Amino acid sequence: MSSSSSTNNKRSNGSAIDIFRRLTCGGLAGMIAKTFTAPLERVKMMSQTGEGGRGVINIYRNVVRTEGIRGLWAGNGANLLRIFPSKGIVFSSNDVYKTALCKLCNIEVKREGENVKAPGNISFCAGGMAGMTASALTYPLDFVRGRISGKGVLPNSSKKYTGILQTINLTIKEEGPTALYKGVKPTLLGAVPYEGIKFGTVGFLETLFPNDTSDSNIIRKVIFGAAGGVSAGCITYPNDTIRRLLQLQGTPGAENFNGYFDCARKTYNKHGLKRFYAGMGVNLIRMAPNTAVQFGAYEMLKELSAKY
């Protein structure tokens, strides 16, 4: 084998190993962040779907009273199964897309440590593409998490969806296999602006406040990640509410809709504009630590794994 061929093989293997390492770090970072903020996520989802009473405190009390403290983490198992591949794909593919888009636009590919640096518009596009890729591949698990977390916490109610496999089997039995993709359209549409704004904000802040030293990027990524998550959460929240309402179709007491725009129209006519922002307050409280931990943990795990 020629030295040139050997070098190419080494580069290819190194690239594959690097992508796998980033995928693993991204998945673990997502799991850490989601578990840390799961109680806030549960309360936010109940506010969106109108279950469990009115107000954050009342919802929290109803969940604890009917399901115990563990109920605040209901659906987290399905969420972690989804979040590991989802966030792994998002973080690892984001750098791949940024590199490809920079080359496509004849922009020099620059790196800050292990991170690919790119202008804000490139970061936005790469993040959106990464988000859509991850959402398309992991949506059924997101659907299951929505079913488990979104119903059954009203006082004196029975919980219909109790586990991952039970929810999948019951949904397929009662509604058919295609039901596992209810709400997939707003999820895919929402992934582009959400991840795009999140990564675009982080990319913009990295350009605005470059790290000119050899110091760790962890603290910077924690701060930039929090800013990106809050920005993305504020702008895309109404779409997320519609997604949750569509996911709950077919469950007891849930309203049925004829697609995305029918859901938006009926919800607006019945409840007004502020219905789309139900749970927004707790979501903002959740988003800052969630994305801060995501980006900070991802950076920390990358730095640790690079040493071995």
pLDDT score, position 273: 92
pLDDT score, position 151: 54
- What percent of the chain is predicted at pLDDT more than 70? 87
Q: Which residue has the higher pLDDT, 174 or 78?
A: 174
Burial of 13 (0-12, 13-18, 19+ CB in 10 A): exposed
Taking residues 264-272, report their average pLDDT: 92
Q: Return d(Cα 143, Cα 75) in angstroms, integer.
A: 10
- The strand ranges marked E within 175-233 are none
pLDDT score, position 191: 85
- pLDDT band at residue 213 using 50, 70 and 90 as cut-offs: low
Q: Which residue has the higher pLDDT, 196 or 16?
A: 196
- The strand ranges marked E within the chain are 110-112, 115-117
Does the structure show a pLDDT above 80 at 302? yes
Q: Which residue has the higher pLDDT, 145 or 240?
A: 240
Taking residues 25-54, report their average pLDDT: 82
Taking residues 210-222, report their average pLDDT: 77
Does the structure show a pLDDT above 60 at 271? yes
pLDDT score, position 2: 45
The answer to whether 90 and 34 are in contact (CB under 8 A) is no
The answer to whether 246 and 263 are in contact (CB under 8 A) is yes
- pLDDT band at residue 54 using 50, 70 and 90 as cut-offs: low
pLDDT score, position 51: 65
User: What interhelical angle do 280-306 and 218-247 show, nearest 10?
Assistant: 130
Residue type at position 217: N
Q: Which residue has the higher pLDDT, 109 or 214?
A: 109
pLDDT score, position 64: 87
Q: What is the mean pLDDT of the chain?
A: 82
Tell me which of 54-58, 173-177, 236-240 is least confident. 54-58
The answer to whether 90 and 131 are in contact (CB under 8 A) is yes
pLDDT score, position 214: 60
Does the structure show a pLDDT above 60 at 4? no
- List, in order of start, the domains of the chain with CATH numbers: 3-306 (1.50.40.10)
Q: Return d(Cα 3, Cα 164) in angstroms, integer.
A: 51
Q: Return d(Cα 198, Cα 208) in angstroms, integer.
A: 15
Q: Which residue has the higher pLDDT, 254 or 99?
A: 99
Q: Tokens for 24?
A: 């693993």
115-165 pLDDT per residue, tens: 778 888 899 999 999 999 998 888 888 888 777 766 544 444 455 777 788
Cα distances (angstroms) measured from residue 78 to each of 34, 147, 265, 290: 11, 10, 30, 17
The answer to whether 40 and 285 are in contact (CB under 8 A) is yes
- The closest of 285, 172, 142 to 226, measured between CA atoms, is 285
The answer to whether 110 and 119 are in contact (CB under 8 A) is no
- pLDDT band at residue 5 using 50, 70 and 90 as cut-offs: very low
